[in-house]
């Protein structure tokens, strides 16, 4: 035994380490119990200063604000899209005069409305042959439709236009106002209602309605022309010229607008500009008799009797001799009647009378000047 201990000492090993149990525990310490692990304190963190807490609070508030505002923006966009679709669908239904779905009178309404449209088309065809009148059947059919369903806007609009063709502007205004009462508002409807007020000399209301038409559609050209007429009727030449220029910028070759421009030019003593406008209008509407009478008048104001006689002579080719002769007797042609050009014109008219006694006289296209543009008459 003494030999063994001496051997261990010789090997440099502590006698206590030579015991098996002691060596085992030194090499592999016992695991910590679950209780010790569960109750062990976490490592201490560095305490946050007040500035760090404030910074984190501000960041959290900003993030929350951004999330809330983003959500509200998404909801707002969604609401706008849905409302626009609903509004477009409603406008489409109103413009089509669609009855309420499931109405027990719907088949009858559609049947009568179809008959009314057929009668209206026949009336328009008759108007195209200069037989300008309204078939009683058309009014009767439309009244049937509106008795069954008074909120259809198309029949009210059509009736208003037919009454305007009959120059019954009171009835036309009533029909257009009832069309607006169906919650259907459009530039075309505002314009035509404005025409009824313009024809009845209610210029202020007419201007408001024409302006409403442009507010609904800035490119609805008849409203520009009608605003020019309403201002010209009140003597507001500058305002009338502004609206007429806006119209001509969109339709530079419109003969009716060019003829109205010549009237404004004459009012300001710009005879040369007036004659140029009339000559341009003649290129677009060579058979419009009024243009030649106006051009002859302007030339007479310019003391150009030869040119004045030339326009009246051209009018003889598209109108009757008696029509031209009556115009020739107007006061503005006094200088022409005493000139050689006027005497030659009188001789030519006398020759035409002798040769046309047994023939039918030409009527010409004697359209009224300065007449408002409706949705049907606009180019």
**According to the model, what pLDDT value does residue 165 have?**
82
When pLDDT is averaged across residues 132-148 and rounded to a whole number, the result is: 62
The domains located in the chain, with CATH, are 104-184 (1.25.40.10), 258-369 (1.25.40.10)
More confident residue, 150 or 103: 150
Residue with the bigger pLDDT between 53 and 291: it is: 291
Phi, psi angles (nearest 5°) of residue 365: -105, 75
Cα–Cα dist 141/163, whole Å:
15
For residue 368, pLDDT over 50 is answered with no
Helix intervals (H) in the chain: 2-11, 20-27, 34-38, 50-96, 106-128, 136-148, 153-165, 169-180, 187-199, 203-216, 221-233, 237-250, 255-267, 271-284, 289-301, 305-315, 321-328, 334-337, 340-355
| H helix runs in 166-304, sequence order | 169-180, 187-199, 203-216, 221-233, 237-250, 255-267, 271-284, 289-301
Provide the pLDDT confidence category of residue 49 given band limits of 50, 70 and 90: low
Instruction: Enter the pTM of the model.
Output: 0.61
Q: With cut-offs at 50, 70 and 90, classify the pLDDT of residue 230.
A: very high
Report d(CA 219, CA 224) in Å as an integer: 9
**Token match 């236009």: residue?**
161
| Percent of all residues in the chain with a pLDDT value above 90, rounded to a whole number | 40
pLDDT at 363 over 90: no
At residue 166, the pLDDT reads 82
Name the average pLDDT for the chain.
77
Q: How confident is the model at residue 255, as a pLDDT?
A: 94
- For the stretch 332-353, pLDDT in tens is 999 999 999 999 999 999 888 8
How does pLDDT run across 2-48, given as a tens digit for each residue?
A: 454 445 455 555 555 555 544 544 555 555 555 555 555 555 555 56
Please indicate whether residue 51 or residue 267 has the higher confidence score (pLDDT): 267
């Amino acid at each position: 035994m003494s030999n063994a201990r001496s051997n261990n000492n010789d090997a440099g090993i502590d006698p206590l380490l030579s015991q098996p149990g002691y060596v085992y525990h030194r090499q592999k310490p016992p695991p910590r119990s679950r209780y010790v692990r569960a109750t062990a304190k976490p490592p201490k963190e560095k305490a946050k200063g007040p500035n760090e807490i404030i910074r984190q609070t501000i960041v959290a508030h900003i993030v929350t604000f951004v999330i809330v505002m983003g959500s509200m923006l998404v909801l707002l966009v969604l609401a706008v899209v849905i409302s626009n679709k609903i509004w477009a669908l409603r406008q489409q239904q109103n413009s089509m005069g669609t009855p309420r779905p499931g109405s027990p009178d719907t088949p009858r309404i559609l049947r009568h409305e179809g008959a009314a449209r057929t009668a209206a088309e026949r009336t328009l065809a008759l108007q195209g042959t200069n037989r300008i009148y309204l078939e009683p059947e058309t009014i009767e059919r439309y009244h049937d439709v509106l008795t069954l369903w008074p909120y259809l806007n198309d029949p009210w609009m059509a009736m208003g236009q037919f009454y305007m063709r009959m120059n019954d502007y009171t009835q036309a205004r009533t029909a257009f106002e009832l069309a607006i009462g169906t919650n259907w508002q459009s530039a075309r409807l505002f314009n035509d209602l404005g025409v009824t007020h313009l024809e009845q000399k209610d210029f202020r209301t007419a201007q408001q309605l024409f302006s409403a038409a442009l507010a609904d559609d800035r490119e609805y050209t008849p409203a520009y022309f009608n605003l020019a007429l309403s201002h010209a009727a009140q003597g507001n030449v500058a305002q009338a010229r502004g609206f007429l220029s806006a119209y001509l910028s969109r339709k530079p070759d419109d003969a009716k607008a060019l003829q109205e421009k010549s009237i404004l030019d004459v009012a300001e003593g710009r005879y040369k500009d007036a004659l140029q406008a009339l000559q341009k209008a003649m290129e677009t509407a060579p058979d419009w008799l009024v243009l030649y009478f106006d051009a002859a008048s302007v030339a007479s104001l310019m003391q150009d009797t030869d040119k004045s006689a030339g326009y009246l002579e051209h009018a003889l080719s598209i109108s009757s001799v008696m029509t031209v002769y009556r115009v020739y007797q107007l006061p503005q042609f006094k200088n022409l009647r005493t000139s050689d050009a006027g005497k030659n014109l009188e001789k030519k008219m006398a020759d035409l009378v002798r040769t046309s006694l047994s023939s039918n006289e030409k009527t010409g296209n004697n359209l009224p000047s300065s007449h408002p543009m409706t949705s049907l008459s606009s180019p």
